[in-house]
Structure 1
């Protein structure tokens, strides 16, 4: 294995570990449904998009919800976990693609990845809820993806770029090719 792939594999494992630990810390905050509000799994997946490239970042996003369910029971695998698999997988892959396409521009990559992931989550929810015979319309999508998640979105827009900038300054982020 090339040294660059070894580094990406290590970063991916670290992001998966953070994605498993951070929700456990966040749920100590005594607020109902805090995980849906803060979205702690999203931060390490978005970071993996900047650090690891498409296949590793997509894997990070895809593996986190079922692994978290197996180890902690949260998120419930149906319906939330299934839609999160698609959402987080898209976050990782799309952020990585956009980061490379924009030649290292952090905010356009982050915002594009976040919007794309939420769109995929909306489509997944529409299918999942539709098959179950439950309505899932645009108001439910806007409410769940943007209004209820606004604190998490703000946190992601502050924390993720700060970490990426710090890692760039420390020369721990692979060069954009």
Structure 2
């Protein structure tokens, strides 16, 4: 296995673990749905992972968290919705930042817009079509994550900058690798 693959697998495992552990602190205070804590490790990890592994990170994190902690819950069907949301943000972030070198702020804004649009589509069309009548699936769900979005916009760009400054000698994007 090449060094790049080992590094990517280690990064993926680290961010999956963070995506399971960090939300627990928010859930202890009942703030998980408002601050979207699982998004932070997935978004941050996707900045440093190639597209396939960013997708793995987005899919494995919520399922592993649910299997260990029961969160996000399966009923009402929050787990599949969060999994779809994480997959969308991971694809946008990895595809644009890791592979194309677009700035973290621009990528983050695009990912957040894509996520909120997906959530609106789920609330507006998919939930009624699937018979998901739980009150959680209302338009307010789209806006309830605003504190989490603010947290993402504050923490993730700063963390990307910190990691790139502190972890010297290790390529952080596809454009930095020499083949």
Verify same fold: TM over 0.5. yes
**Where on the TM-score scale, by shorter chain, does this alignment land: which range?**
0.7 to 0.9
1:134-153 aligned within 5 A: 134=133, 140-141=138-139, 143-145=140-142, 147-153=143-149
Q: Give the CA deviation at 1:134.
A: 3.1
Over 3 Å counting, the alpha-carbon distance change for 1:20 and 1:135 in structure 2 is closer
Which residue of the other structure, out of 110, 113, 134, is the alignment partner of 1:112? Answer: 110
TM-score (norm 1): 0.86
4+ residue segments displaced more than 4 Å: none
Q: Which runs of 5+ in 1 are unaligned?
A: none
Give the match for residue 161 of structure 2: 165
Q: Using the alignment, how far apart are the partners of 1:36 and 1:173 within structure 2?
A: 34
Q: Using the alignment, how far apart are the partners of 2:73 and 2:4 within structure 1?
A: 35
Q: Using the alignment, how far apart are the partners of 2:159 and 2:98 within structure 1?
A: 18
TM-score (norm 2): 0.85
- Cα RMSD after superposing both structures: 2.2
Are the counterparts in 2 of residues 98 and 108 from structure 1 also a CA contact under 8 Å? no
Q: Using the alignment, how far apart are the partners of 1:12 and 1:42 within structure 2?
A: 14
1:13-32 aligned within 5 A: 13-29=13-29, 32=30
